[in-house]
With several copies, the nearest count.
Chain A
C-alpha cells in the first residue's frame, strides 16, 4: 500500500515543475558549453542565459542588465546588503531593517554591525506588521540602506513595501537611501514589478516557486552603487563572478514565467484551501490560534499555535500520517530556539514553540485539506494528554505547573 503523502511545506521549498526541469535538461549534457566560449555550444548556452535574463526582467519590469543570477535567496540577500552597504559606507553607516526578516538578512546585518555599521531593527505589531511611522522616525542622515521583506516566510504577513519605499525616499534628509526587499516568499503570489514596489534591490529564490534549488535572482536597479561580493571572472556584468549555472538560470526563468502566468489562479486556489484549513483547525481544535495577520497574509500560509503541545511533536505525528508541514522556519530547524518572528509578534515562547506552519501549493486539493483536518485533532489530543501544561491548567488555570 502506498503511503499517503500530503505536502504542505511550500514555504520551505517546492518541487521543480516538470516543464521547468524539461527546459533545464538540454543544458546539462547537450548544450553544456561555457557561455564564455565563442564556439557553437558556448554560444547556445550564452543565448539561453540571455533569453532567461530577458524573461526575468520582463516579469520584474526592469532591464535585462539589472538582473543578476545568484546561487539563491540567501546569496541575493547577502549581496544586496553587503554590496550596497560597503559601497555607501562613506555616505553613512546606518541601516534599517525589521525584527522579522529572514536570517539571511538578520545575520548579515549582524555581520555588518561587527564591521562598523549601525543597524536599527524595527519591531512589529502583533500581526507582524512594520509600522510606517517607526520607519520614518528611524531614518537619520546617516541612513544609507533599508531592507524590509515583502512577505514573511513564517507567518505570511505581507508588508506594504511600496509605501515604505516611497515614504523612505521622501523622508530622506540626504540624496538617496537604497531600498532592498526580500521578495523570496512573494514570487508566486505577489506582483514583483520593481517600479511599482519602488525598490532598488529585490531578492528571489527559485526553489520557492517551482524552480531549482541553488538559484536566486538579485534585481539591482541601474545606477545603484554596489561592490560585488563574489569576485573573479567578468560574469553577470562584473557583479557576480563564476561560471554561469546555465541549466539553473534557464530553470529559474521558466519557473518565474510559470509563476507569473499562474499567479492569480494559483493564489485563489491556495487561499481557498488555506482558509478551509485555518477555519477547520480553529473550529475543530480548541485552544488554537492563528499567527500573523488575519487578512494581509500570503494566500498560501497558515501559521497556527496549538496550545500546550510542542510543534515538532505534532509535525512528527503528521509525518507518520504522511503530512509534511513545518514548525518555525525550516532554516532554523537545526536549532531549537523559538521562532524569532513569532516572538517578535509578542507571543510567549511557549506559544511560539507550539506553532505549526502549513503552506499550501497549487497541487494541493480539497481532499488533502480534509485529510489533514481529519488526522490533526487526534494527534493534538493525544499529545495534550501527555502535556504537563494541560494538567496544570486543569488544576489551577495554567499558571502553576
Chain B
C-alpha cells in the first residue's frame, strides 16, 4: 500500500516533538479522516530554524508530517509557503489514492504555522485551533466504566 519511503518516514519520523517557545504554531484536523497535525516553528533571519511536529493520524499523516519538516527546514518563509501537499506526497514517492485527500494535510498545518507567525491566524489563542472540530458529532467524550473492564471469565 505505502511506498518504502513512506514507511521509512513513518517508522523513523524526523523532527517529532514540540517547541515550547515556538514563534508559530499550526494545527489542522479533521474528524472525518481522523488526522490531526500540529506544527511548531522557530524563525531566524526570515528562515525556518527549528521545526517540530505532533501528529495523531494514520501512516500517511505521520509520514507527510515528517517529510514536510525536512523539506522546509532552513527555507525562507516564501519558499516554505511554496511547498504544497502535492509536493510532499510526491517527495514521498506518492500516496495511495484514498490517502491523497484526507491524510495529506501537513502543508496546510505548515501554512497555518506561518500564518500564526505572521499574525494572520488566531495567534496564541487558547481556543482549540481545529478546523473541522473533533468530537462535533454527538457522542460521549469519555468512555463508560464498562469499557475499562476486562471480560468476565
| A and B touch in their complex, CB below 8 angstroms | yes
On A, residues with C-beta under 8 Å from B are: 38, 43, 46, 126-127, 274-275, 278-279, 282-283, 289-291, 294-295, 297, 305, 308-313, 316-317, 320, 334-338, 343, 346-353, 385-389, 391, 400-401
Q: Once the chains are docked, how many angstroms separate the CA of A313 from the CA of B66?
A: 14
Q: Once the chains are docked, how many angstroms separate the CA of A320 from the CA of B10?
A: 11
24 inter-chain pairs at a CB distance below 8 angstroms, sorted by A residue, are A127-B146, A274-B151, A283-B150, A290-B147, A291-B147, A294-B152, A310-B56, A313-B61, A316-B7, A316-B59, A320-B11, A335-B98, A336-B33, A336-B98, A336-B102, A347-B139, A349-B139, A350-B134, A386-B53, A386-B55, A387-B56, A388-B37, A401-B29, A401-B36
Q: Which one of A290, A312, A391 lies within 8 Å of B149 (CB-CB)?
A: A290
Q: Are A386 and B33 in contact (CB under 8 A)?
A: no
Q: Once the chains are docked, how many angstroms separate the CA of A294 from the CA of B7?
A: 35
Give the number of residue pairs across the A-B interface with Cβ within 8 Å.
142
Q: Are A275 and B58 in contact (CB under 8 A)?
A: no
Smallest beta-carbon distance B76→chain A, Å = 26
Q: Are B55 and A348 in contact (CB under 8 A)?
A: no
Q: Are B151 and A343 in contact (CB under 8 A)?
A: no
Q: Are B126 and A278 in contact (CB under 8 A)?
A: no
Residues of B within 8 A of A349 (CB): 31-32, 34, 134-137, 139
Q: Once the chains are docked, how many angstroms separate the CA of A334 from the CA of B130?
A: 24
Q: Are A348 and B150 in contact (CB under 8 A)?
A: no
Of chain A, the residue at the smallest CB distance from B150 is A279
- In the complex, whether B84 has a CB less than 8 A from a CB of chain A is no
Q: Once the chains are docked, how many angstroms separate the CA of A310 from the CA of B134?
A: 13
- In the complex, whether B141 has a CB less than 8 A from a CB of chain A is yes
Residues of A within 8 A of B88 (CB): none
Q: Are A389 and B31 in contact (CB under 8 A)?
A: no
Smallest beta-carbon distance B89→chain A, Å = 15
Residues of A within 8 A of B61 (CB): 310, 313
Q: Are A386 and B62 in contact (CB under 8 A)?
A: yes
Of chain B, the residue at the smallest CB distance from A334 is B98
Best-buried of B1, B2, B17 by chain A (most CB within 10 Å):
B1
Residues of A within 8 A of B37 (CB): 388
Q: Once the chains are docked, how many angstroms separate the CA of A99 from the CA of B27?
A: 33
With A278-B150, A291-B147, A391-B18 known to touch, is A401 a contact of B135 (CB < 8 Å)?
no
Q: Are A290 and B139 in contact (CB under 8 A)?
A: no
Smallest beta-carbon distance B62→chain A, Å = 6
- In the complex, whether B129 has a CB less than 8 A from a CB of chain A is yes
Extra 13 A-B pairs, beta carbons < 8 Å, given A346-B139, A387-B55:
A289-B147, A290-B148, A316-B2, A337-B32, A338-B32, A346-B138, A347-B140, A348-B139, A349-B137, A386-B53, A388-B27, A389-B56, A401-B36
Residues of B within 8 A of A391 (CB): 18, 38, 54
Q: Are A279 and B151 in contact (CB under 8 A)?
A: yes
Q: Once the chains are docked, how many angstroms separate the CA of A386 from the CA of B144?
A: 26
Q: Are A310 and B35 in contact (CB under 8 A)?
A: yes
Of chain A, the residue at the smallest CB distance from B65 is A386
Residues of A within 8 A of B129 (CB): 401
With A38-B1, A349-B137 known to touch, is A295 a contact of B151 (CB < 8 Å)?
yes
Smallest beta-carbon distance B90→chain A, Å = 20
Of chain A, the residue at the smallest CB distance from B152 is A295
Q: Are A313 and B62 in contact (CB under 8 A)?
A: yes
Q: Once the chains are docked, how many angstroms separate the CA of A391 from the CA of B1?
A: 30
Q: Are B152 and A387 in contact (CB under 8 A)?
A: no
Q: Which one of B62, B102, B126, B143 lies within 8 Å of A347 (CB-CB)?
A: B143
Residues of A within 8 A of B103 (CB): 336
Q: Are B1 and A386 in contact (CB under 8 A)?
A: no
Of chain B, the residue at the smallest CB distance from A39 is B1
Q: Are A312 and B128 in contact (CB under 8 A)?
A: no
Of chain B, the residue at the smallest CB distance from A328 is B34
Of chain B, the residue at the smallest CB distance from A276 is B150
- In the complex, whether B74 has a CB less than 8 A from a CB of chain A is no
Residues of B within 8 A of A400 (CB): 126-128
Query: Which 6 pairs of residues, A with B, have the shortest CB-CB distance?
Result: A353-B34, A289-B147, A312-B58, A388-B54, A279-B150, A388-B38
Smallest beta-carbon distance B129→chain A, Å = 7
Residues of B within 8 A of A316 (CB): 2, 7, 10, 58-59
Residues of A within 8 A of B11 (CB): 317, 320
Q: Are A275 and B54 in contact (CB under 8 A)?
A: no
Residues of A within 8 A of B139 (CB): 343, 346-349, 351
Residues of A within 8 A of B121 (CB): none
Smallest beta-carbon distance A111→chain B, Å = 23
Smallest beta-carbon distance B33→chain A, Å = 5
**Bitwise interface map of B from 113 to 145 toward A, beta carbon under 8 Å scored 1, else 0:** 000000000000011111000111111110110
Q: Are B58 and A126 in contact (CB under 8 A)?
A: no
Q: Are B151 and A386 in contact (CB under 8 A)?
A: no
Residues of A within 8 A of B137 (CB): 343, 348-349
Q: Once the chains are docked, how many angstroms separate the CA of A38 from the CA of B62?
A: 16
Smallest beta-carbon distance A277→chain B, Å = 10
